[in-house]
Structure 1
Amino acid sequence: MESNKKTNITLINPFEVPEGKIEESIVYWEACRDFLKKEPGYISTKLHKSIKEGSKFELINVAVWESPKAFTEASQKMAKELGVLPPEGLKANPSLYSVISE
């Protein structure tokens, strides 16, 4: 890796989705995405759905941000301003990662 190359961080957020709440959870994720993509430091995001029936983490969000600070500030702002509640029982498990090998 070049020493002057800017490195981004990756958010990996697996969701435990309550039974019967997949569509409602996707709508909630889309509202969050629409809010966050307007924030400074946002680069991209994709929502993945498990192809395995009964998976613990039925949805997984993978997002790229310029920095942990940008993600944290945007998330805090979203928590205050989004105005949309998550589906009852939806459990997020977010964590930030940096690439260490390609």
Structure 2
Amino acid sequence: MENRHVVIIPIEIDEEKEASYLAAWQDAAEVMAAQPGFIRTYMFRTIVPGSKFPLVNVAE
């Protein structure tokens, strides 16, 4: 069996900062994609209005 790790990061962020955060996250994801052992990353957005964590990052 492979030695995989999954990282789940709930992100608490103000709505007005979300767009700039996602742009920076995309840049960081591209850097991480070039690293040995990196498999993939996803950013999820909640569908629940007013959620404490509107974004959740999942990476392998």
The answer, yes or no, to whether TM exceeds 0.5 is yes
Unaligned runs of 5+ in 1: 65-102
- State the alpha-carbon separation in 2 of the partners of residues 59 and 22 from structure 1: 9
TM superposition shift of 1:19: 3.1
In the alignment of these two chains, the number of paired residues is 60
Q: TM-score, normalised by structure 1?
A: 0.55
Shift of 1:10: 0.1
Amino acid at match of 2:37: G
Please name the residue that 1:18 is paired with: 14
Amino acid at match of 2:49: E
Q: Segments of 4+ in structure 1 off by > 2 A? A: none
For 1:52 and 1:29, the matched residues in 2 are separated by: 22
1:75 is aligned to none
User: How many percent of aligned residue pairs carry the same amino acid?
Assistant: 32
TM-score, length basis structure 2: 0.90
Letter in 2 for 1:43: I
RMSD between superposed Cα atoms in Å: 1.0
